[in-house]
């Protein structure tokens, strides 16, 4: 394949090998972003759990949070396997969600639940989109790390029950969901241009013609709409 | 053993059978207290982790926190095995640490670390003391749940380094440790009289002559002194 391609750029797929330094750097960057994202999600959902109105909700949200921590452990393990220092790989991303969080501070328990479900849903969809740009082995690992164990069913059922009984709450949370998705999509768009590794992966994918930043954003919006419907809310 | 004991109280050990309703209630109460304590420790150490000055500290404290969550899972599993509802078993204890926490709000990162290490150390010692009052099977489970995975080594090494270089910090944290142990011992003493199941277990143990509330408190103080020494602090 590359034998007759010496006078033109290598076919995109051929660069997705971990012995290619540029690709390897991009993968480490992505894994660092994901690992930090999962660590942050664990911390945030744990603090949501502390605000739960009852012990049942506290336990359910804690389960969800610790699952995020397990994702973090998987991703960190992969970084170690690749010979990278996980702390170093995560460091560029320590403030990536800060602005998002500052703009989307939940006003009450319901907004916390919606943010946990919708916000991390969008984040996971985004990670999954980027994973499609990876070599099969890395993609499999990322997809495994993003597998949801179903603890979010609690969030869905509690929210469905609450919004079915209260139209004003339902309207308010629909609005809240729109604000969350707007901020999240803005964050995703800026991440795709801000980090050289992500940009490189995106360019590789675009060269293959089946991936583009706008297609990613459009799929994120579609998934968000489904998610809001599952909560009985208007996207 | 009980055949010739019809005219006097049963030998203490003979009551430690889970088919004895009074003993069973006491065990469920203890497991509920422990499970809630571990769930609370997980939440609190996670929020400590969010305040860590660097990513390395944040990851280390998160490991410690998730280990507490695993203890919670073990204890919850035991409650389920015994046919109890874990939420119901934990409910009486939701506010047990609130007063303690309100009286011991850490002023900075160092006080957080000392509280995480010293506070949960005392709590674990207390749980272990109570476990000695249990039947072998329950005791083994509780002791397994209290096994420390060694993540606290991070706390010790960071604190040792900081206090070795700063005498004023060392003096301040010694004082802080004394405040923590005072509040914790007060909490332990009140728990031993406040909860009927703990009181029952203690009375069983006292009847055997080798356990008393004052002996428990005295051992807690001894362990605390060792722990402070490990941190290079004066108890």
> Alpha helix locations (H) across A82-231?
86-90, 98-103, 109-114, 120-131, 136-146, 152-164, 167-194, 196-207, 213-230
pLDDT tens-digit profile of A111-129?
999 998 888 889 889 988 9
Q: What is the pLDDT of residue A131?
A: 87
B47: chain A residues, CB-CB within 8 Å: 43, 46-47, 50
Which residues in chain B have their CB less than 8 angstroms from residue A42's CB? 46, 62, 66
Q: What is the pLDDT of residue A92?
A: 92
The pTM of the full predicted model, rounded to 2 decimals, is 0.86
Contact A114, A177 (CB under 8 A): yes
Which residue among B39, B62, B90 sits closest to A42, beta carbon to beta carbon? B62
- Residue B8, pLDDT > 60, answer no
Which of A49, A66, A154 is the mutation pick for testing B, counting most B CBs within 10 A?
A66
- What confidence score (pLDDT) does residue A190 get? 87
Nearest CA-CA partner of A29 in A127, A107, A136, A144: A127
- All residues of chain B having their beta carbon less than 8 Å from the beta carbon of residue A58 are 39
Burial (0-12, 13-18, 19+ Cβ within 10 Å), B209: exposed
pLDDT computed for residue B13 by the predictor: 56
> Which of A46, A62, A87, A94 to mutate: most B Cβ within 10 Å?
A46
Determine whether the interchain pair A59/B39 forms a contact, defined as Cβ–Cβ distance below 8 Å.
Answer: yes
What pLDDT shows up at residue A170? 95
Higher pLDDT, A154 or B179: B179
Tell me the shortest Cα–Cα distance from B169 to chain A, in angstroms: 28
Using pLDDT thresholds of 50, 70 and 90, give the confidence band for residue B220: very high
**What would the two tokens of residue B1 be?**
């053993």
pLDDT digits (tens, 9 = 90+) for A179-214: 999 999 998 888 888 899 989 998 888 887 778 888
Confidence tier at A14 by pLDDT (50, 70, 90): low
**DSSP secondary structure letters along chain B:** --TT-TTSPPPGGGG--TTSHHHHHHHHHHHHHHHHHHHHHHHHHHHHHHT-SSHHHHHHHHHHHHHHHHHHHHHHHHHHHTT--HHHHHGGGTTTTHHHHHHT--SSHHHHHHIIIIIHHHHHHHHHHHHTTS-HHHHHHHHHHH---STHHHHHHHHHHHHHT-HHHHHHHHHHHHHHHHHHHHHHHHHHHHSHHHHHHHHHHHHTTS--HHHHHHHHHHHHHHHHHHTT---
How confident is the model over B72-123, as pLDDT tens digits? 999 999 999 999 999 999 999 988 888 888 899 999 999 999 998 888 889 8
A43 in B contact zone (CB under 8 Å): yes
Q: How many CB pairs under 8 A join A and B?
A: 52
What number is the average pLDDT over the span A143-169?
84
Q: Which residues of A touch B67 (CB under 8 A)?
A: none
Return residues 83-112 of A near B (CB < 8 Å).
86-87, 90-91, 94
CB atoms within 10 A of CB B80: 12
Closest B-chain CA to A70 = B66
Measure the CA–CA gap between A214 and A96, rounded to whole angstroms: 21
Q: Which residue has the higher pLDDT, A169 or A9?
A: A169
Tell me, what's the pLDDT at B149?
Answer: 58
For residue A3, pLDDT beyond 90: no
Inter-chain contact A47–B42, Cβ cutoff 8 Å?
Answer: no
Q: How far apart are CA B78 and CA B27, in angstroms?
A: 10
* Rounded CA separation A149/A40 (Å): 18
Band (pLDDT 50/70/90 cuts) for residue B6 is: very low
Provide the token pair at B102: 């309100």
Whole-number percent of chain A with pLDDT over 90: 51
Confidence band, pLDDT 50/70/90 cuts, at residue A4? very low
Residue with the larger pLDDT of the pair B210 and B185: B185
**Which chain B residues touch A47 with a CB distance below 8 Å?**
43, 46-47, 50
Reported ipTM = 0.84
Identify which of B140, B182, B169 has the alpha carbon closest to the alpha carbon of residue B231. Answer: B169
Phi and psi angles of residue A177, each rounded to the nearest 5 degrees, phi first: -60, -40
> At B15, is the pLDDT very low, low, confident or very high (cuts 50, 70, 90)?
low
Q: Which long-range contacts (CB under 8 A, 24 or more apart) does B221-226 make?
A: B221/B181, B221/B185, B223/B121, B223/B122, B223/B125, B224/B118, B224/B121, B224/B122, B224/B125, B224/B177, B224/B181
Q: In this structure, how many other beta carbons lie within 10 angstroms of the beta carbon of residue B2?
A: 8
Mean pLDDT of A168-172: 96
Mutate one of B40, B55, B67 to test the A interface: name it (highest A CB count within 10 A): B55
User: Nearest by CB to B69, which of A36, A66, A87?
Assistant: A66
Evaluate if residue A29 carries a pLDDT over 90: yes
Question: A62 — contact with chain B (CB < 8 Å)?
Answer: yes
Residue B232 exposed, middle or buried by CB count within 10 Å (0-12, 13-18, 19+): middle
Q: Which residue in the set B39, B46, B69 is minimally distant from A43, CB to CB?
A: B46
Residues on chain B touching A49 (C-beta within 8 angstroms): 43
pLDDT above 50 (res B186): yes
* Contact criterion met (CB < 8 Å) for B87 and A56: yes
Mean pLDDT (chain B) is 87
What is the C-alpha separation between B129 and A152, in angstroms, rounded? 38
Query: What tens digit of pLDDT does each residue of B46-76 get?
Result: 999 999 989 999 999 999 899 999 999 999 9
Position A6 scores a pLDDT of 43
Residue of A nearest to B95 (CA): A55
Q: Kindly list the residues from chain A whose CB atom is less than 8 angstroms away from the CB atom of residue B49.
A: 43
Contact B49 A43 (CB under 8 A): yes
């Amino acid at each position: 394949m590359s034998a007759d391609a010496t006078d033109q750029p290598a076919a995109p797929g051929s660069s997705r090998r971990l012995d290619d330094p540029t690709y390897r750097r991009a993968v480490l960057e992505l894994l660092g972003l994901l690992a930090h994202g999962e660590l942050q999600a664990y911390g945030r959902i744990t603090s949501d759990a502390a605000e739960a109105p009852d012990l049942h909700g506290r336990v359910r949200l804690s389960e969800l949070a610790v699952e995020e921590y397990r994702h973090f452990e998987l991703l960190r393990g992969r970084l170690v396997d690749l010979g990278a220092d996980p702390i170093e790989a995560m460091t560029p991303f320590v403030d990536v969600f800060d602005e998002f969080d500052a703009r989307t501070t939940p006003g009450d328990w319901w907004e916390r639940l919606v943010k946990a479900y919708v916000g991390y849903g969008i984040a996971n969809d985004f990670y999954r989109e980027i994973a499609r740009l990876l070599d099969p082995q890395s993609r499999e690992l990322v997809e495994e790390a993003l597998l949801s164990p179903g603890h979010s069913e609690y969030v869905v059922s509690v929210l469905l029950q609450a919004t079915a009984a209260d139209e004003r709450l339902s309207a308010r949370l629909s609005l809240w969901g729109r604000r969350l998705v707007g901020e999240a999509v803005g964050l995703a768009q800026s991440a795709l241009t801000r980090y050289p590794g992500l940009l490189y992966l995106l360019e590789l994918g675009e060269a293959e013609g089946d991936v583009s930043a706008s297609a990613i954003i459009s799929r994120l919006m579609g998934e968000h709409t489904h998610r809001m419907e599952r909560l009985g809310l208007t996207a």
